[in-house]
Structure 1
Amino acid sequence: MRYQQLPYASDTALLAAISHLQWPALLAGSHKGTSAGRYSIACGQPTRKLEITRPEQKDLLQDLRLADTNTFPPAPVELPFTYGWLGYFSYDAARLLEQLPEIAKDDLSLPWVRLGFYEWSLVSDHQTQTTWLSGFFTDQLAEELQTRLQGGPEIQQGFKLTSDFVSNMKETEYRAKFARVQEYLHAGDCYQINLAQRFSATFEGSVLDAWQQLNSAIPAPFSAFLDYGDQQLLSLSPERFLKCSAAGDVETQPIKGTRPRGRNQKEDLALAENLLKSTKDRAENLMIVDLLRNDLGKVCHAGSIRVPDLFTLESYNYVHHLVSRITGQLKPPYQPLDLLTAAFPGGSITGAPKLRAMEIIEELEPCRRSAYCGSIGYIDFSGRMDFNIAIRTFIATEGNLHLWGGGGLVADSSPEDEYAETLHKVARLLRVLQPDFASGFS
């Protein structure tokens, strides 16, 4: 186990340093006023791969259990990740944990779980302007990475769309599904159900170039770029799913409640105030807080679960969000894997009760969600874990680019408002790649 300081590197430089390696991965964050965007983590060339595509492979998740590794020297500075497992759990990985119907079309064929075991990582601390290489690495690798970091960006240019983004639901279809959701809500099947539509376009050129454009235009605290060769994930998520420290401190930060940013300061403040005072949005948020408190209670010490932040406003460059924070203390002998499976997938993107909401989602959404609403992140050898909720996340596969927008529906939801919210959530992202997007959507 080694640590070596290298020249400070931006996200672009980190990607340039690892993009030639197999399964290059970047977890990046940027959001002023929070600690979430402090670090970027880059790694490549995993020595092991975990890919799960069917329920019979569930036992492979046990590979993510941690051994006793307290004999390694402490890091010279605080680092979120040194070496370990990094990748994603798709929304469909819930089929490893629950019995769900098979109705929606599974047309993207991504593995349910895809993680690499990375023996080293590059971590840039944007607060201290330092970059560290840590883990198990040779002098030759350190020299190669340093050369690439200092050599400047080598990102291939030339991404372009070859068609417009098109939804898998017309507005009339969304309204019909909304009406069906209302029937379930009024019948008492659920208190809240998330409903999403998918936007798809064809493209050619470098997906990495598309990521650079998106990451530059729309900074987010839990962003990620994962390249598996045949498929790429481009996430600009504002939402943390689960974080666990080496000492077992647990945190989750669900988002429920969204408004667009205003065209001027007065309108912007009015929209933010409207969100903060919205009885409906606060009720939705509280439902998910209660759901997550219950999920954490499965693996945390009794009495340790707290809600230090309830209904907090977080503002990004294109939306306002209503965010809460729930904390707890992991109870031995439970590990980060137990925490992840106890709460997966996040309640903020399913509804409540979770299992029944997922059954209804499978019935009403025409296509499986794949990586959307799953989680991207890592489990470090030390017991640290951090995963996002993979919203605002593109999937690139077979020359197609897909992005979803959804929202939680409750009994007093308005179909006009909810449909508009799904557009607010994706329009800014899609316009980075297709500037004229939304001319017939609103």
Structure 2
Amino acid sequence: MTHTSAPFPLAAFHDGQSWRLCHQPARTLTVAITDRDDLQALPAQVNQWLAAGPDRLAVGLISYEAAALLHHPDCTHASPLPAAVVHLYTDTPASAPLPPAAHDDSFRLTTPFAPDWSRAGYLAALERIQAYLRAGDCYQVNLAQRFSSRFTGHPWNAWRALVAAHPAPHACYFDYGEGAVFGVSPERFLSVRGRTVVTEPIKGSQPRGRTPEEDDFLGDLLLRSDKDRAENLMIVDLLRNDLGQLCEPGSIEAEPLFQLRRFSNVQHLVSTVRGTLRTGISPLEALLACFPGGSITGAPKRRAMEIIRELEPGPRGFYCGSLFWQRSNGAFDSSILIRTLQARNGQLVCHGGGGIVHDSDPAQEYAESLFKVEKLMAALER
């Protein structure tokens, strides 16, 4: 896949009011997975681009393995993918509706999704995490398993089918040249307006019910779950600390906590943390300082990432990374790339996972890693 694959957009996202469909960029910045200096210089490059015109736009991806450049090389697996890719536009595209999903063979799976791990393998990794937890090595670790398939056609058409079946507030599409990333993430990472920064971590999950009554029962179960509230609060505290390094003293607030939010195939507990960025810190600098999001690593962050590297069999790629967009007017938003698929060289991969704590039930955690993504994969297997 290359940028000559137009007429499909190379990036698409919802800015909270409307869809933005972005075609050929004026420039694309690519940061190699080994280039720490280029990643650290990226915020200044993006700011310089945006300052040169009144309606400019930057849309970018940060891969999970970029964390090795921001924390420590032992935090992640080696990855064949870039650390970051940013499309730069001289004008922000006008708002536009998404075109309807194609109902033909313009995208088709040629093999069904298959897990890289057996159930026994996943449970063995979970038991290893719980041994670390019992030893006091960490408090929470986010474990994910990968499903892979083969496909023909264009990933844009897969994403359109996915969004039609499972809309989500941070659904996005991004073609980075050698592949594409697309998904229906429900999770905001950092949003910045003026100097106010907001993050909305997700921790705590239940499937949607088959009836309104079952849906309410499962939602109430989640709201009353001491385990899920404690898990959520761990990540809130981690993000309070992350933002505390960047924000004015005394400006950090965590409110509201433990809101129930429902999405097409799952319901979650969501909390909100906000603060006032110190003068001189740009939105993308803030994102890199907090990256990756604590909800998809665990706590403490560095040790959790080291355990993830030990137990997960390969790199996550752009899964659990972030998509961000920023305009010349300073508006900035970003997501955590969960419920996200990656297409490259005819292979399509999807991850599902969850946070493991000391009282996690192994069977329930395995089931959660499935129910978060089963309907997404099924939408593409039709």
Instruction: Tell me if TM exceeds 0.5.
Output: yes
**1:93 and 2:93 matched:** no
1:20 matched residue in structure 2:
6
Structure 2, unaligned runs of 5 or more: none
CA shift in 2, pair 1:311/1:48, >3 Å? same
Counterpart of 2:321 in structure 1 is: 374
Given the superposition, is the C-alpha separation of residues 96 and 28 from structure 1 closer, same or farther in structure 2, using an over 3 Å criterion? same
The equivalent of 1:198 in structure 2 is 146
TM score, norm. by length of structure 2: 0.92
- Alpha-carbon contact 1:311-1:324 (below 8 Å) kept: yes
User: 1:96-133, CA deviations, whole angstroms, 9 ceiling, x for partnerless residues?
Assistant: 11113277474xx221211111112224278xxxxxxx
Q: What RMSD over aligned residues (CA atoms) do the two structures have, in Å? A: 2.4
The residue number in structure 2 matching 1:412 is 359
DSSP 3-state at the match of 2:92: strand
Structure 1 residue 240 and structure 2 residue 219: aligned?
Answer: no
CA distance in 2, matches of 1:48, 1:68: 10
2:330 aligns with one of 379, 383, 389: 383
User: Which protein is bigger by CA-based radius of gyration?
Assistant: 1
Equivalent in the alignment of 2:89 = 118
Match of 2:255, SS state, is strand
Distance 2:78 2:282 in 1: 34
Which AA in structure 1 matches 2:279?
P
User: Are 2:220 and 1:249 aligned?
Assistant: no
Question: Would you say the 8 A contact 2:142–2:298 is kept in 1?
Answer: yes
Aligned residues between the structures: 376
1:288 alignment partner, one of 235, 238, 251: 235
What percentage of residue pairs aligned between the two structures are identical? 45
- SS of 1:120's partner is coil
**Once the 2 structures are TM-superposed, how far is the Cα of residue 53 of structure 1 from its aligned partner?**
1.9
Tell me the residue number matched to 1:262. Answer: 209
TM-score, reference length from structure 1: 0.80
Structure 2 CA distance, aligned partners of 1:72 and 1:120?
8
Stretches of structure 1 that go unaligned for 5 or more consecutive residues are 1-17, 30-35, 74-81, 127-148, 436-442
Alpha carbons 2:11, 2:21 under 8 Å: kept: yes
- Note if contact 1:221-1:238 (Cα within 8 Å) is conserved in structure 2: yes
**Cα deviation 1:180-208 (Å, max 9, x = unaligned):** 00011011111000000000000112222
The Cα shift of 1:51 comes to 1.1
Query: Partners of 1:353 and 1:85 in 2: how far apart?
Result: 31
Mapped to 2, the partners of 1:105 and 1:47 lie a distance apart of: 30
Point out the more displaced range, 336-345 or 352-361: 336-345
The amino acid of 1:171's aligned partner reads R
| Structure 1 residues 345-392: Cα deviation after superposition (integer angstroms, max 9, x where no partner) | 000000000000000000000011000000012132333221100000
Instruction: Please state how far the C-alpha of 1:52 moved relative to its aligned partner.
Output: 1.5
What is residue 429 of structure 1 aligned with on the other side?
Answer: 376
Alignment of structure 1 residues 257-336 onto 2, 5 Å: 257-336=204-283
1:400 to 1:251, Cα distance in 2 relative to 1, 3 A: same
Q: Is the 8 A contact 1:27 1:377 kept in 2?
A: no
Q: Distance in 2 between matches of 1:60 and 1:275?
A: 39
Contact 2:101 2:157 in 1 (8 A): no
Deviation at residue 56 of structure 1 after TM alignment: 3.1
- Once residues 25 and 340 of structure 2 are traced to their aligned partners in structure 1, the CA distance between those partners, rounded to angstroms, is 23
Is the alpha carbon distance of 1:168 and 1:153 closer, same or farther for their aligned partners in structure 2, counting shifts above 3 Å? closer
1:213 aligns with 2:161: yes
In the alignment, the residues of structure 2 paired with residue 192 and residue 236 of structure 1 have an alpha-carbon distance, to the nearest angstrom, of: 25
1:147-166 alignment, distance < 5 Å: 158-166=106-114
1:329 CA drift (Å): 0.7
